[in-house]
A and B are shown apart, each in its own frame.
Chain A
């Protein structure tokens, strides 16, 4: 075996065993001697893709294509590099070329389908790509997952779930199928089941950041939902207590406030304690990011207003004024309208 073959064989193997750094070291040394070696450049592109270094992957694939423009794998890497860089139109063009050069490979249709999800004008073609990939590789789990994504994008969640289940029947450890199925559970508000699913996906592929984000999103969604329930009950309890007890009877008011605080403590403990320190850090980040969205800002503002109203009503003397009723009703309307726009979503 020559030095070139050895280097390429080892680099290919290192990439298969997820050691792109080592592969890059090997390939860089090899390319120092043979800078125009197209297979080495293609492998270098693959290695950089594994490290999410889109720019470097694109550069390597461009160099490889300059030497060997007909290599399908290089077009695939180029398309994935563009995708990593968020240049979806160019990614789709490269993936089209990949399909043209290798129409017999299911991976070409699969890659194109994945990329087209990010191209608004061509989303309808995703199902077509998934269908072709399935025709070529019916026993592979990935095309089923892509088909599930296509149905999910069309909001046909039942069929999407069926596709994910088929993928899991083929490969029970398929992390993305597990995660996507759990995403559908979360959409239905099945927090516990969704959390189990996301954790299973993370167990199958612990390094996938997407699953961590989904775990955090589930915890946060659950926290928001039950927090809002506590908020509504707090308002109701404040209204009832304020009307039922005497103006100077503070004990029931303090008890209600205590119960509310206790409920919050229990909720936070139940939802945050199972999360590790690192996930709690992500949750804080996610919360800050959510606050940047208009929808969540409305929910949060409604929540704060409602809680402020509830406290005012709870401790406001019931002297026949309509202020408590007005405050409670207004806050409730804000809260419910915010809730009505809220949906549980995760990344797929």
Chain B
């Protein structure tokens, strides 16, 4: 960036305006917020220069500084975030129109609005509580012991010297309620909730993924108490030894830095992560002070299945459904599978109603037919988990999982 801008400046000095504009445009494309680049562009197109902030070292791939892109929870006004735009008499809108064939729009999907002024990550207040999680008594107990009790009892925590450092890693088969539990934890803590996935972080430009991660943590620190929930942490914090893309290795490093930063200087930020593939998570993320507590979230037990079925049927017209019998027959089904069964049964009743011309309730026969049609979806996950437990569980990390697999006679 600095080199390109310097070259553009030299070209301008030599009256090679077109070449200079091309270089500045390229620089602006990479770093639309660069005041140096904007000033040079203004000079190149003959407009009065916008006020330039004192020169600061440019990052390799510059973007609007974190503070600009990520206002605090109280939402700073846009004019405060980007004072140069307001102070400058230069008509940026018309300049951008003139240069539209040189500088492509920043955001293809939404040209009218610059989301740089909007909070990049949604802060939610979770109304879900652990009591809303049906069944899963063991999971709740472990959550209470490993996470919630120390969080909710600061004096006792102090007395016993229990540290709050480190996050909690939820792992288990897909569709079994990890995200729901994370929301429930946020609800229990009365904290804001930020859910982050790969899409929110990954960016093709070098340094941008790291910046995005930093922004997530900055937002959470400002909104403290806040729970950051990193979904699919295996994609975000994959084993660096298996990553050929150095940019993503940088993102893992950034995540480590942010987690350590949480530990050292940010009270009230609780980091939860979820994954279906904990064995793919970089070992450094599992070290003490990071995700050093793990919780296996298994397919719902019988009471949980009853709860899930009830939840998915409670707003539907049902008659004569034997929830207990269904819960018994759905051993090994995930929560998502159970939702699918209810959906399929409803679909069946609807089609029947359409064909007969007479609406009817969802009955047990619809549920049974749906049950016969839909098989548990976690089989492939269990096979993968079995291979890991069988060959790679040298340090006992997956002893919980081993126990479950033995119970299910899969190992």
**A interface residues, Cβ below 8 angstroms from B:** 1-3, 5-6, 8-10, 12-14, 16-19, 22, 173, 199, 202-203, 206-207, 211-212, 276-279
Which residue of A10, A17, A277 has the most chain B CB atoms within 10 A of its CB atom? A17
Least CB distance, A75 to chain B, in whole angstroms: 20
Report B-chain residues with C-beta under 8 Å of the C-beta of A12: 245
CB contact between B394 and one of A2, A13, A203, A276 (< 8 Å): that residue: A203
A5 to B204, CA, bound (A): 7
Known contacts: A17-B238, A202-B391. The answer to whether A10 contacts B245 by CB under 8 A is: no
A173 to B392, CA, bound (A): 13
- Residue contact B204 to A9, C-beta cutoff 8 Å: yes
Least CB distance, B5 to chain A, in whole angstroms: 22
- Whether B129 is near chain A, meaning CB under 8 Å from some CB there, is no
Chain B 233-251 near chain A by CB (<8 Å), digits 1 or 0: 0110010011111001000
A1 to B411, CA, bound (A): 46
Q: List 23 contacting pairs A-B, 8 Å CB cutoff, sorted by A.
A: A1-B208, A3-B108, A5-B204, A8-B204, A10-B198, A10-B199, A14-B198, A16-B243, A16-B245, A17-B238, A17-B242, A17-B243, A17-B280, A19-B235, A202-B387, A202-B390, A202-B391, A203-B392, A206-B388, A276-B411, A278-B386, A278-B410, A278-B411
- Residue contact A9 to B202, C-beta cutoff 8 Å: yes
A1 to B238, CA, bound (A): 23
CB contact between B409 and one of A1, A19, A203, A277 (< 8 Å): that residue: A277
- Residue contact A207 to B109, C-beta cutoff 8 Å: no
- Residue contact B391 to A17, C-beta cutoff 8 Å: no
**B interface residues, Cβ below 8 angstroms from A:** 108-109, 198-199, 202-205, 208, 234-235, 238, 241-245, 248, 279-280, 384, 386-388, 390-392, 394, 409-411
A22 to B238, CA, bound (A): 15
- Residue contact A2 to B392, C-beta cutoff 8 Å: no
Q: Smallest CB-CB separation from B245: which chain A residue?
A: A16
Least CB distance, A100 to chain B, in whole angstroms: 24
Q: Smallest CB-CB separation from B108: which chain A residue?
A: A2
Least CB distance, A1 to chain B, in whole angstroms: 6
Chain A at the B interface: mostly helix, strand, loop or mixed?
Answer: helix
Least CB distance, A178 to chain B, in whole angstroms: 12
- Residue contact B411 to A13, C-beta cutoff 8 Å: no
- Residue contact A206 to B279, C-beta cutoff 8 Å: yes
Report B-chain residues with C-beta under 8 Å of the C-beta of A207: 384, 387
- Nearest first, the 7 closest Cβ-Cβ pairs linking A and B are A9-B204, A206-B387, A202-B391, A17-B238, A206-B391, A203-B391, A206-B388
A206 to B234, CA, bound (A): 16
Known contacts: A5-B204, A10-B199, A203-B391. The answer to whether A17 contacts B235 by CB under 8 A is: yes
Report A-chain residues with C-beta under 8 Å of the C-beta of B409: 277
A86 to B130, CA, bound (A): 53
Q: Smallest CB-CB separation from B248: which chain A residue?
A: A13
- Residue contact B411 to A277, C-beta cutoff 8 Å: yes
Report A-chain residues with C-beta under 8 Å of the C-beta of B392: 202-203, 206
Least CB distance, A200 to chain B, in whole angstroms: 9
A315 to B369, CA, bound (A): 61
- Residue contact A206 to B390, C-beta cutoff 8 Å: yes
Which residue of B245, B279, B280, B387 has the most chain A CB atoms within 10 A of its CB atom? B387
A14 to B279, CA, bound (A): 16
Q: Smallest CB-CB separation from B389: which chain A residue?
A: A206
A1 to B202, CA, bound (A): 11
Beyond A1-B208, A19-B235, 12 additional contacts (C-beta under 8 Å) are A10-B198, A13-B235, A14-B235, A16-B244, A17-B234, A17-B242, A173-B241, A202-B390, A203-B391, A203-B392, A206-B392, A276-B411
A336 to B156, CA, bound (A): 75
- Residue contact B204 to A6, C-beta cutoff 8 Å: yes
Least CB distance, B405 to chain A, in whole angstroms: 9
Q: Smallest CB-CB separation from A199: which chain B residue?
A: B391
A208 to B205, CA, bound (A): 33
Least CB distance, B205 to chain A, in whole angstroms: 7
Report A-chain residues with C-beta under 8 Å of the C-beta of B199: 6, 10
Least CB distance, A189 to chain B, in whole angstroms: 24
Report A-chain residues with C-beta under 8 Å of the C-beta of B388: 206
A13 to B236, CA, bound (A): 9
Q: Smallest CB-CB separation from B388: which chain A residue?
A: A206
Known contacts: A203-B394, A277-B410. The answer to whether A16 contacts B387 by CB under 8 A is: no
Q: Smallest CB-CB separation from B237: which chain A residue?
A: A17
Q: Smallest CB-CB separation from A7: which chain B residue?
A: B199
- Residue contact B203 to A1, C-beta cutoff 8 Å: yes
A1 to B203, CA, bound (A): 8
- Residue contact B390 to A276, C-beta cutoff 8 Å: yes
A10 to B243, CA, bound (A): 14
A203 to B203, CA, bound (A): 32
Least CB distance, B44 to chain A, in whole angstroms: 25
Report A-chain residues with C-beta under 8 Å of the C-beta of B205: 1
Q: Smallest CB-CB separation from A215: which chain B residue?
A: B391
A259 to B330, CA, bound (A): 49
Least CB distance, A90 to chain B, in whole angstroms: 28
Known contacts: A6-B204, A12-B245. The answer to whether A18 contacts B280 by CB under 8 A is: yes
- Residue contact B387 to A13, C-beta cutoff 8 Å: no
A42 to B242, CA, bound (A): 21
Least CB distance, B332 to chain A, in whole angstroms: 17
Report B-chain residues with C-beta under 8 Å of the C-beta of A212: 387
Which residue of A8, A12, A206, A212 has the most chain B CB atoms within 10 A of its CB atom? A206
- Residue contact B248 to A16, C-beta cutoff 8 Å: yes
Least CB distance, A137 to chain B, in whole angstroms: 13
Q: Smallest CB-CB separation from B199: which chain A residue?
A: A10
- Residue contact B203 to A9, C-beta cutoff 8 Å: yes
Report A-chain residues with C-beta under 8 Å of the C-beta of B109: 3
A19 to B208, CA, bound (A): 22
Least CB distance, B398 to chain A, in whole angstroms: 11
A297 to B401, CA, bound (A): 40
Least CB distance, A50 to chain B, in whole angstroms: 13
Q: Smallest CB-CB separation from A171: which chain B residue?
A: B241
Report B-chain residues with C-beta under 8 Å of the C-beta of A202: 387, 390-392
Report A-chain residues with C-beta under 8 Å of the C-beta of B386: 276, 278
Which residue of A13, A18, A207 has the most chain B CB atoms within 10 A of its CB atom? A13
A3 to B204, CA, bound (A): 11
A173 to B386, CA, bound (A): 21
Report A-chain residues with C-beta under 8 Å of the C-beta of B241: 173
